[in-house]
Chain A
Amino acid sequence: MMPLRRFTIHQPRNLKEASEMLAQFGEKGRLYAGGTELLLAMKHDLLRYEHLVDVKTASGLDRIERKDFALHIGGIATHRAIENSPLVREHFPVICEMERNVANVRVRAAGTLGGNLCFGEPHSDPANLLLALNAKARVRGRSEDRVLAMDELIAGAYETSLAPDEILTGVEIPLAPKSQKAAYLKFQIHERPTLGVALVLELDESGRAITKARAVVGCVSPKPCRSEKAEALLVGERENVEKQLPEAAKALADAAQPVDDLEGSAEYKRHLIGVFLRRAFAKALSKPVA
């Protein structure tokens, strides 16, 4: 069995204590939640910490609630809790569906949304969809609170813009108008997704034209990516947009700049973006509310 190096585990009673501990330990410490990513990296000796700060002992971070026209999901809510939350299902069934297909049943039981986002694993689903849904990350440090867009939070592969003492307390997702349609699709042949495509569309009153679009491609490069050019091509009469899908896919692929890796060549991933954008478009529009 692969043993872990020795460390001490700390149990802060609240966020302030957790933040202070993180500031004190500096590079020797790390916030610990579900451990589904962190412990793997530590087992392989890719990361070494002498102190883990268990954020789960600070209370209140697992709440899922609706307030101020947004759905708030606490940082330590597990994938399973989000998948099974009636409130999430009511407002964003697309999030439940995405969470239902994260990793496997064991990872979903232990892994948390905050941990997933803060680990910044490029081959992962939640950030892709949350970026398309215009979700914001709520962050608390010792001195101030910050609100970051998803693409500000995630700085690159395995990298966030959080300061050492800052903690992601949760995400807030602006409640969708009834006219919003959303879909998240992924392509996966190994343990982690090769490609994730999230598409969020707003329709006009007639339902025939798309008035706003947010499209995200993830897993093909270091961080989830949008393209203004692609989103402009996804607005207009449905029939016209449908004809523009290949061009929109190309714009998304140009913005994402897929890399060659074990999941496939860049060229292959560019092809997949075209296929999955088309499928996501069909899926988003065939559902009554998403």
Chain B
Amino acid sequence: MKLSLKLNGRPTEVECGAEEILAEVLRNRLNLTGTKVSCEVQVCGACTVLVDGLPVSACTTLAYEARDRSVLTIEGLAQADGSLHPIQQAFIDEFAFQCGFCTPGMIMATKALLDENPNPTDDEIIHHMDGNICRCTGYVPILKAIKRASRSLKEKRK
């Protein structure tokens, strides 16, 4: 089937089978390898992308579900001139990753959270990020990065 979607802000068409998973189509057909695949059972969050602003597991979502919708991946965050999105910058500033494999998913989950709730409490952040697993950095720097991102996005809006 031919799939039409808005991918990272751009109208995109891609040919794929009904059984193809969104992560497969993003990585193998569209060469967007920023979206990582790890547990494949919707537990780890490495494959988090946003569909119409909501976080989904790209590893267990049919590409079919993206038809006529807007998909945002980690590649869609930085600006065309290469300047990073405030959430990406906050993760660097707070050393919120080591191996980096969980980071695209962490950042996309953070984007979904801050779009909906620009000033989350620690508890709200922890609840929202509960389904994103990191096995090396530890969660404290990630929490700090999300709070820093929330502050810098607020600054930017002023």
- Please list the residues of chain A having a beta carbon within 8 angstroms of any beta carbon in chain B: 1-9, 35-36, 39-40, 43, 52, 54, 80, 100, 103-107, 109-110, 191
Contact = CB atoms under 8 A, between A and B. Distances in A.
Contact of A106 (B18, B21, B45): B45
B43 interface: yes
Interface string B55-98: 11101111011000000000000000000000000000000000
6 contacts: A1-B24, A3-B24, A35-B60, A35-B62, A43-B40, A110-B54
Interface residues of B, number: 32
Contacts of A105: 55, 109, 112, 128, 130-131
A39 B60 contact: yes
B19 interface: yes
B119 interface: no
B19 A5 contact: yes
A36 B40 contact: no
A110 B43 contact: no
B64 A104 contact: no
Contacts of A9: 18, 62, 64
B154 to A, nearest CB: 22
Nearest to A100: B127
Interface of B: 17-21, 23-24, 27, 37, 40-43, 45, 48, 54-57, 59-62, 64-65, 109, 112, 127-128, 130-132
B131 A103 contact: yes
Interface of B is mostly: mixed
A3 B21 contact: yes
Contacts of B40: 1-2, 43
A1 B47 CA distance: 12
A3 B19 contact: yes
Nearest to A56: B65
Given A35-B62, A110-B65, 11 more contacts: A4-B21, A9-B62, A9-B64, A40-B42, A80-B54, A105-B112, A105-B128, A105-B131, A106-B42, A109-B56, A191-B43
Contact of A7 (B18, B27, B128): B18
A104 B45 contact: yes
Contacts of A3: 19, 21, 24
Contacts of B20: 4
Nearest to B41: A40
Instruction: Please provide the 5 A-B residue pairs with the shortest distance between their CB atoms, ordered closest to farther.
Output: A104-B131, A109-B54, A4-B19, A9-B18, A106-B57
A106 B48 contact: yes
B41 A8 contact: no
Contacts of B24: 1, 3
Contacts of A106: 42, 45, 48, 55-57, 131
Nearest to A4: B19
B19 to A, nearest CB: 4
Interface centre among B18, B42, B59 (most CB of A within 10 A): B42
Contact of A1 (B18, B37, B127): B37
A40 B127 CA distance: 24
Given A1-B59, A39-B60, A104-B130, A8 B18 contact: yes
A288 to B, nearest CB: 22
Given A35-B60, A35-B61, A43-B60, A6 B41 contact: no
